[in-house]
Homo-oligomer: A and B are copies of this chain.
Amino acid sequence: MFREKIKVLDCTIRDGGLMNKHDFDLRFVREVYKAISEAGVDYMEIGYKNSRKLFSTKEFGKWKFCDDEDIRRVIEGIQSKTKISVMVDVDRVDIEDVLPKKDSPVDMIRVAAYVKDVDKAIYLVNHFAEKGYETTVNIMAISRALDNELTECLQQLEKESKAQIIYIVDSFGSLYQETAEFLIKKARSILKTKEIGMHAHNNQQLAFGNTIEAIIHEANYVDGSIFGLGRAAGNCPTELILGFLKNPKYDIRPILDVISKEFIPLQKKIEWGYFIPYAITGILDEHPRTAIALRESDKKENYREYYESFTSEVEE
């Protein structure tokens, strides 16, 4: 697939940070930035911009806060055309922490929000756009959104927000291609003036398949992470996206190198990827948090019992 407009955002450090409290050391983050830059990847998302009033710097690493000076330490001395992105969650950011774009190494701010928080997301994204940043709204947990509410959310984003890109986020890794296609087409039909993005999770080994599906249906922004590093089952592997895209600006080899050198050793410290409890939450369209807890317990391979913990609940 070649389409000039396609942009790849690598969210290794940001989404991977969910598995180690955002505590990657500077050397590792620089190696990732170097590889991403050499590979020609368009954006690198480095973490969250969270308020220090809400989260302790003792409990969490640097990339939970993403101070401009920490970002400068990552990028200094490395030749790069890769832009820097940070993510912001509704109700967790101090907007005063964010300087005008001209005074910051950050290029893009992505606001992650549930459908129900669309008004807050629009407020935030417009604020950051006015400060000069490229902006996106990432609609989380879209597999749980009711169709009429999603319609209204997309209509509001089209009319009221200054975000250039709206992402479909399959937070639970539960979408199959048919639904990915439906959602991208739906977004495409409402968001006349904006680009569409796709952020997929790999619980059912469909992150790459759904990302291709999104590209086929005219999504031009896609998220990947190196070797799939990300929460629980992880994300769409950046190396597979670069293997698929024919755009000559991309080079897969620096990504292969950094996997050899940094990510194979990292696998001994952090667990991510295809594990059955994550597959189960994907199949059942559930948040992976209980699966992550299970993997940290002495019942980590008790799959049947874990599966039945969902299906034995009677709801009416």
Q: Hey, which bits of chain A sit against chain B, CB under 8 A?
A: 1, 176-178, 202, 204-210, 212-213, 216, 227-228, 237, 239-240, 243-244, 252-253, 256-257, 259-260, 264, 273-274, 276, 279-280, 282-283, 301-304, 307-308
Contact = CB atoms under 8 A, between A and B. Distances in A.
B213 A264 contact: no
A304 to B, nearest CB: 5
A177 B209 contact: yes
29 contacts: A1-B176, A176-B212, A176-B244, A177-B177, A177-B213, A177-B216, A178-B212, A202-B205, A204-B208, A205-B205, A205-B208, A205-B240, A206-B212, A208-B209, A209-B209, A209-B212, A239-B276, A243-B279, A252-B283, A252-B307, A253-B304, A253-B307, A253-B308, A256-B280, A259-B276, A260-B276, A260-B303, A264-B301, A273-B274
B274 A204 contact: no
Contacts of A308: 253
A276 B227 CA distance: 8
Contacts of A303: 256-257, 259-260
A307 B209 CA distance: 23
A19 B136 CA distance: 46
Contact of A279 (B239, B282, B304, B307): B239
Work out how many copies of this chain go into the complex: 2
Contact of A274 (B1, B243, B244, B274): B274
Contacts of A205: 202, 205, 207-209, 237, 240
Nearest to A303: B256
> Can you list the 9 inter-chain pairs with the closest CB atoms, starting with the nearest?
A209-B209, A243-B283, A256-B303, A260-B301, A256-B304, A257-B304, A205-B208, A260-B303, A205-B205
